[in-house]
Amino acid sequence: MFNLDDLVRPNIKRLVPYSCARDDFHGKTGIFLDANENPFGTLNRYPDPYQRELKAGISRLKTIPAENIFLGNGSDEIIDLCFRIFCTPGQDKALTLSPSYGMYEVSASVNDVKIIRSPLGPDFGINYSDLKKHFSDGNLKLIILCSPNNPTGNCLDAEIIERIVSEFRGIVLLDEAYIDFADQPSMKDKTLSYPNLIVMQTFSKAFGLASARTGMAFANTAIVEYFNKIKPPYNISSLNQKTVLRRLGKPENYLSQVNKIKQERIRLTREIAKLPGVVEVYPSDANFILTRMMDAGKAYEYLVNKGIIVRNRSSLINNCLRITVGSRAENNKLLNTLKSCK
């Protein structure tokens, strides 16, 4: 039987959470003399610590109950909170696929948690037999999967993900930062049937709000309660809550941007493959394209000198650039510049 409390760090279970003024009084009107705020101005009040209005909007858009939603100061905060809730420093371990998003390892190091790297198989898929052999490690508390994966761009096999979730006795954090660009559906609804699954999404990519630092976690209510218990009380500013809420009100805007980016991804994938110095363009389900070059370092420097900044990912995958899909004009500039890179 899965028991969440068995996985939670003892100090987190014992923790008495900070109780802020807005925990004691929920009303919106009155004379507020309870939070040592300044009575003057328009940004003088602390924001709603539980972002109720915003969660109601997200709940409608994602068709998932608001009580199953947690919001972080970007997904990066949620990753860190997972380590803090489930992994005892100096003792527990987390597993990530390799290569994958760099913040998993950084957060693990900050929390003094050992990382196990499970190498991706051919075509950047999960190597299930390699990963499964770690299930019996009693100190392995957290498996982090990223689909579509950064920097490889591909979706992971949903059936294998579900197998991992059902067979692993710890927590699976599935990072779907790029899912809006994929044809594969999100697995967020599975969080309602699997008590050990957390699915994470973000407003930074498809919604174009990287600057508003808002990430979402979908999970069962027991996990959401632990997130709320340890988060800084006012982790999403009122400016950011309002900005995201406004964007939610016009879903057609973000959907049309996602469509444009997907169209451009198809064109870029096709056109980059024709260029000199390009060895392979990997298929992408995200808003970036991983490209193997004859000499990625040289191509990177050439592009930087022409004012075009891509990411050299050669330290993770030999001779590979990760190229974000830009606007049509930006992509044309990239293609023309790469054409002249001899």
**147 near ligand PLP, judged by CB under 6 A:** no
For the bound state, the minimum distance from the C-beta of residue 127 to ligand PLP, rounded and expressed in Å, comes to: 19
Kindly tell me which of 150 and 241 has the beta carbon lying closer to ligand PLP: 150
Mind spelling out the 3-state secondary structure of the chain? CCCHHHHCCHHHHHCCCCCCHHHHCCCCCCCCCCCCCCCCCCCCCCCCCCCHHHHHHHHHHHCCCHHHEEEECCHHHHHHHHHHHHCCCCCCEEEEEECCCCHHHHHHHHCCCEEEEEECCHHHCCCHHHHHCCCCCCCEEEEEEECCCCCCCCCCCHHHHHHHHHHCCCEEEEECCCHHHCCCCCCHHHHHCCCCEEEEEECCCCCCCHHHCCEEEECCHHHHHHHHHHCCCCCCCHHHHHHHHHHHCCHHHHHHHHHHHHHHHHHHHHHHHCCCCEEEECCCCCCEEEEEECCHHHHHHHHHHCCCCCEECCCCCCCEEEEECCCHHHHHHHHHHHHCCC
Count interface residues toward ligand PLP (CB under 6 A): 12
For the bound state, the minimum distance from the C-beta of residue 210 to ligand PLP, rounded and expressed in Å, comes to: 6
- Binding characters for ligand PLP, 35-74, by CB under 6 A (x = yes): ---------------------------------------x
In this chain, which of 107, 111, 150, 291 binds ligand PLP, going by CB under 6 A? 150
For the bound state, the minimum distance from the C-beta of residue 146 to ligand PLP, rounded and expressed in Å, comes to: 5
Angle between helical axes of 221-230 and 75-86 (0-180°, round to 10) = 100
In this chain, which of 47, 99, 170, 215 binds ligand PLP, going by CB under 6 A? 215
For the bound state, the minimum distance from the C-beta of residue 177 to ligand PLP, rounded and expressed in Å, comes to: 4
Q: Is the distance from CB of 197 to CB of 190 less than 8 angstroms?
A: yes
In this chain, which of 48, 76, 130, 225 binds ligand PLP, going by CB under 6 A? 76
In this chain, which of 75, 96, 111, 291 binds ligand PLP, going by CB under 6 A? 75
Kindly tell me which of 58 and 341 has the beta carbon lying closer to ligand PLP: 58
For the bound state, the minimum distance from the C-beta of residue 82 to ligand PLP, rounded and expressed in Å, comes to: 12
With CB atoms as reference, the residue minimizing the distance to ligand PLP is: 74
For the bound state, the minimum distance from the C-beta of residue 16 to ligand PLP, rounded and expressed in Å, comes to: 28
**143 near ligand PLP, judged by CB under 6 A:** no
For the bound state, the minimum distance from the C-beta of residue 267 to ligand PLP, rounded and expressed in Å, comes to: 22
Angle between helical axes of 103-110 and 75-86 (0-180°, round to 10) = 40
**210 near ligand PLP, judged by CB under 6 A:** yes
In this chain, which of 51, 147, 202, 220 binds ligand PLP, going by CB under 6 A? 202
**153 near ligand PLP, judged by CB under 6 A:** no
Q: Which residue ranges make up the site for ligand PLP (CB under 6 A)?
A: 74-76, 101, 146, 150, 175, 177, 202, 204, 210, 215
